[in-house]
Amino acid sequence: MKSKQDSYWKENIRILLFLLSIWFLVSFGFGILLSDWLDQFQVGGFKLGFWFAQQGSIYIFIILIFIYIYLINRLDKKYFGDKNFKDSN
């Protein structure tokens, strides 16, 4: 039987891999590989491929940070309840 800690870390790694794959797709895929194809669309007067390469991937990364915080807080509550980890001494 898996311990609670093993299950927690398995879910944590799954969340990390999912979010990192989105980040990779947006930064490398949209910003480099698909840039020419995306340039046929525009955002704020700029070609979409250029926008992803210069700003879009950074915005997506910041959004992914907040999504990670939200998901990990939910995961912590699922496995550890509402314990206050700051007062663990």
pLDDT digits (tens, 9 = 90+) for 47-60: 998 888 889 899 99
Q: How far apart are CA 70 and CA 87, in angstroms?
A: 21
State the pLDDT at residue 89: 46
Q: What is the mean pLDDT of the chain?
A: 88
Q: How far apart are CA 9 and CA 16, in angstroms?
A: 10
Question: What torsion, rounded to 10 degrees, do the Cα atoms 64, 68, 74, 80 define?
Answer: 180
- Global pTM reads 0.79
